[in-house]
C-alpha cells in the first residue's frame, strides 16, 4: 500500500509518499512554529500541523483517498495512539489526540509512532547486527534500541524507553533548562538547540575570542543573532576552532551516556541520525567517537567506538520510511469514517 508518511520535528515538518517497495518520493519540507518562544499558542501549532498534512494529502496526485497516514512523532507514544509529551514542539503543554484530529480532518487511518522508533524499524531491514540503537540529535535527543531476539523488535513499549534526552547530566543550580521545563537534561545540553544555547553563552562571556571565529568573520554572526543553520554549523564544517570546541563541550555528556548504553545493552551498533548531527556530518561523528574513546581509557572491556558508532547519512529518510514500514507491518488498511 501507499502511505502518506509524516516526520515532525521541533523545527520542520516533512511529508512524502511511501511506496510498497520501501521507496520515498515527493518529499516536502516546511518550517513549523513551536510555542517555546511564547509567540504561538500550542493549539495554533497543532492546528497548523494538521492543516499542512491534510493539504499535502489533498494535493498529492499519487495518493488515493484511502491511503493511510504513517506519522513519526517527536515524543513518547503509548499503545500506538497516545502522545505522552512533545517538549520540542510545545514544551510541557498538554498534547491533543492528534491521531483523532487527523482522522477527522482527512478521513485517513492514522498510524502513530515515535520518530526514533520509526528510524529503528527502517534500519532493522538494513543492518546485519542483532542489537543496535538509533540516536537522534536534533532539536532534542532521543534513542531507541532494536533487538532481533525480542518479539517486540523495537523496545518502546513503555513511555520512557529511549528518552535519554531527559536524563539529568548536570545537577548544578544554573544548569541549562530543557524544553520539558526541567534543568540539566541531556537534551538541554547536547542537542542542536542545546549546542546553540551554549554557543551564545560562550560568545557573550568572551566576545574577543568569539569575534575572530568564522561564525563572525565569514558568516556574519553576533552573540545575539548566532544560529545553527547560518553560522554555527557552517563554521563547524569549516573546522573553525571556536565552533568545534563549543560542539565538543556540548557533546561530552552524550558521549558518556552512549558509552554506558553500549555496556548496558551489549550494543553492536549505534546509528546517529537527526538534523543537527547529519548536517554537521563526518566531523560530528569523528568528535563523538573521540570523546567516547576517552571514556574507554583504562577499561578492561574497552571497545573501539569506530567499530560501533556510525553516522546515519547512508540511510536517508529513515524516519519517513520507517513510519511506513511500521504501518505496513502491523496494521490493516481499514478505512476511517468521518
Q: 219 and 173, same structural domain?
A: yes
Q: Measured in whole angstroms, how far is the alpha carbon of residue 148 from the centre of its chain? A: 23
The verdict on residue 106 lying in a domain is: yes
Q: 155 and 286, same structural domain?
A: yes
- Residue 62's pLDDT is 95
128-164 residue pLDDT tens: 999 999 999 998 999 999 999 988 899 988 888 999 9
Q: 234 and 149, same structural domain?
A: yes
274-324 residue pLDDT tens: 999 999 999 999 999 999 988 776 677 777 888 899 999 988 888 888 888
Q: List Cβ neighbours of 297 (8 Å cut-off, separation of 6 or more).
A: none
- Residue 205's pLDDT is 97
Domain that holds residue 188: 127-314
Q: 157 and 70, same structural domain?
A: no
Asked whether 155 and 146 are in contact (CB, 8 A), the reply is yes
- Residue 336's pLDDT is 38
- Residue 333's pLDDT is 44
- Residue 170's pLDDT is 96
Q: 251 and 132, same structural domain?
A: yes
Q: 56 and 39, same structural domain?
A: yes
Using CA atoms, how far apart are residues 124 and 98, in angstroms rounded to an integer?
A: 27
Mean pLDDT of the chain: 91
Please state the domain count of the chain: 2
- Residue whose C-alpha cell is 499558542: 41
- Residue 290's pLDDT is 95
Q: By percentage, how much of the chain surpasses pLDDT 90?
A: 69
The verdict on residue 77 lying in a domain is: yes
Of 71-75, 109-113, 221-225, give the range with the top mean pLDDT: 221-225
Q: 308 and 181, same structural domain?
A: yes
Q: 291 and 150, same structural domain?
A: yes
- Residue 210's pLDDT is 98
Q: 90 and 46, same structural domain?
A: yes
The verdict on residue 31 lying in a domain is: yes
CATH value at residue 309: 3.30.420.40
Asked whether 122 and 113 are in contact (CB, 8 A), the reply is no
Using CA atoms, how far apart are residues 313 and 52, in angstroms rounded to an integer?
A: 27
Q: 141 and 8, same structural domain?
A: no
The verdict on residue 21 lying in a domain is: yes
Q: 101 and 239, same structural domain?
A: no
Of the pLDDT bands very low, low, confident and very high (cuts 50, 70, 90), residue 331 is low
The verdict on residue 34 lying in a domain is: yes
The verdict on residue 36 lying in a domain is: yes
The verdict on residue 122 lying in a domain is: no
Task: Tell me the angle at which helices 192-205 and 241-265 cross, rounded to the nearest 10 degrees.
Answer: 140
Does residue 338 surpass a pLDDT of 50? no
Of the pLDDT bands very low, low, confident and very high (cuts 50, 70, 90), residue 332 is very low
pTM equals 0.85
Q: 199 and 78, same structural domain?
A: no
Amino acid at each position: 500500500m501507499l502511505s502518506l508518511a509524516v516526520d515532525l520535528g521541533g523545527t520542520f515538518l516533512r511529508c512524502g509518499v511511501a511506496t510498497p517497495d520501501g521507496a520515498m518520493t515527493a518529499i516536502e519540507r516546511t518550517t513549523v512554529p513551536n510555542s517555546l518562544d511564547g509567540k504561538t499558542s500550542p493549539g495554533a501549532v497543532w492546528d497548523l500541523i494538521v492543516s499542512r498534512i491534510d493539504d499535502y494529502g489533498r494535493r498529492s496526485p499519487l495518493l488515493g483517498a484511502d491511503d493511510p497516514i504513517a506519522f513519526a512523532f517527536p515524543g513518547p507514544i503509548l499503545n500506538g495512539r497516545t502522545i505522552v509529551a512533545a517538549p520540542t514542539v510545545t514544551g510541557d503543554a498538554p498534547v491533543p489526540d492528534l491521531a483523532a484530529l487527523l482522522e477527522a480532518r482527512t478521513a485517513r487511518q492514522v498510524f502513530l509512532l515515535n520518530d526514533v522508533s520509526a528510524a529503528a524499524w527502517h534500519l532493522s531491514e538494513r543492518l546485519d547486527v542483532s542489537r543496535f540503537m538509533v540516536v537522534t540529535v536534533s532539536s532534542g535527543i532521543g534513542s531507541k534500541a532494536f533487538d532481533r531476539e525480542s518479539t517486540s523488535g523495537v523496545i518502546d513499549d513503555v513511555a520512557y524507553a529511549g528518552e535519554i534526552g531527559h536524563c539529568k547530566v548536570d545537577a548544578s543550580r544554573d544548569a541549562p533548562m530543557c524544553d520539558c521545563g526541567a534543568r540539566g537534561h541531556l537534551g538541554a545540553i547536547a542537542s542542536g538547540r542545546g549546542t546553540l544555547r551554549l554557543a551564545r553563552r560562550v560568545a557573550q562571556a568572551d566576545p574577543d575570542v568569539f569575534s575572530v571565529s568564522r561564525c563572525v568573520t565569514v558568516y556574519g554572526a553576533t552573540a545575539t543573532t548566532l544560529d545553527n543553520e547560518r553560522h554555527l554549523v557552517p563554521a563547524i564544517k569549516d573546522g573553525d576552532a571556536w565552533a568545534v570546541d563549543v560542539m565538543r563541550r556540548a557533546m561530552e555528556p552524550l558521549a558518556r551516556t552512549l558509552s554506558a548504553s553500549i555496556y548496558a545493552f551489549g550494543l553492536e551498533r549505534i546509528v546517529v541520525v537527526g538534523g543537527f548531527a547529519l548536517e554537521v556530518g563526518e566531523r560530528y561523528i569523528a568528535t563523538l567517537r573521540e570523546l567516547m574513546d576517552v571514556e574507554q581509557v583504562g577499561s578492561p572491556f574497552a571497545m573501539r567506538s569506530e567499530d560501533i558508532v556510525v553516522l546515519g547519512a547512508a540511510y536517508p529518510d529513515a524516519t519517513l520510511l520507517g513510519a511506513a514500514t511500521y504501518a505496513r507491518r502491523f496494521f490493516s488498511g481499514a478505512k476511517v469514517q468521518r
